[in-house]
Amino acid sequence: MKESFVHVYTGNGKGKSTAAFGLALRALFAGKKVYIAQFIKDMKYHETGIETVMDGIKIEQLGAGCFIDRKPDEHDREVATAALQKCGKILESGKFDVVILDEITIALYFKLFSSKDVIKILQSRNPKVEVVLTGRYAPQELIDYADLVTEMREVKHYYTQGVLSRDGIDV
């Protein structure tokens, strides 16, 4: 029987990263070590402060920024590829019990690297490392590879009423 599993949290609804951070806290309180790589994100969101108050968790923002107002370029691909290689080494090392690759499916959506590249690092991970991948647009190949897939589906959101992200709740 497998020692660890691959989770995918995807969909257009709110809560993918939030669920992953919840799992991270649960793992921490069970005495596990957690590594979180944030692809795409480069702003210091409130959740990045967790590592300053809790031992056993490391958070790194490995992206070159968000693509809301621009298209990814060669620099973005180079940064993302280097981030994926770094995460591959972390997964192989077994230094962390849980590794979260936050917004990695967005990097896949923008073709910063391929699903095959991601699956390759997942296959060569230490067998004891649990992995969580988050983000919208998870490709079918990754869904098929994963052991657990949860789709967050937006039913209703206050954003449609003009409410922007709220401090401490949404960001």
**8, β-bridge pairs:** 133, 149
Kindly report, residue by residue over 85-104, the tens digit of the pLDDT. 999 999 999 999 999 999 99
Mean pLDDT of 40-59: 82
Residue scoring higher pLDDT (48 or 97): 97
Q: With respect to residue 137, please indicate whether it lies within any of the assigned structural domains.
A: yes
Burial class (CB in 10 A: 0-12, 13-18, 19+), 162: exposed
Number of domains in the chain: 1
pLDDT at position 43: 67
Q: How far apart are CA 163 and CA 156, in angstroms?
A: 12
pLDDT at position 149: 98
Q: Are 45 and 170 in contact (CB under 8 A)?
A: no
> What's the token pair of residue 98?
């849980």
Average pLDDT over the chain reads 93
Q: How far apart are CA 107 and CA 104, in angstroms?
A: 5
Mean pLDDT of 46-66: 86
Q: With respect to residue 17, please indicate whether it lies within any of the assigned structural domains.
A: yes
Kindly report, residue by residue over 128-147, the tens digit of the pLDDT. 999 999 999 999 999 999 99
Structural domain containing residue 68: 6-161
Q: With respect to residue 169, please indicate whether it lies within any of the assigned structural domains.
A: no
Q: With respect to residue 171, please indicate whether it lies within any of the assigned structural domains.
A: no
Q: With respect to residue 121, please indicate whether it lies within any of the assigned structural domains.
A: yes
The letter for the amino acid at 121 is I
Q: With respect to residue 116, please indicate whether it lies within any of the assigned structural domains.
A: yes
pLDDT bin (cut points 50, 70, 90) of residue 69 is: confident
In eight-state DSSP terms, residue 132 is E
DSSP-based three-state secondary structure for 51:
helix
The letter for the amino acid at 170 is D
> What's the token pair of residue 140?
């079918």
CATH of the domain at 33: 3.40.50.300
Q: With respect to residue 1, please indicate whether it lies within any of the assigned structural domains.
A: no
Percent of the chain with pLDDT over 90: 75
Q: With respect to residue 166, please indicate whether it lies within any of the assigned structural domains.
A: no
- The least confident of 30-39, 60-69, 154-163 is 60-69
- The least confident of 12-26, 94-108, 157-171 is 157-171
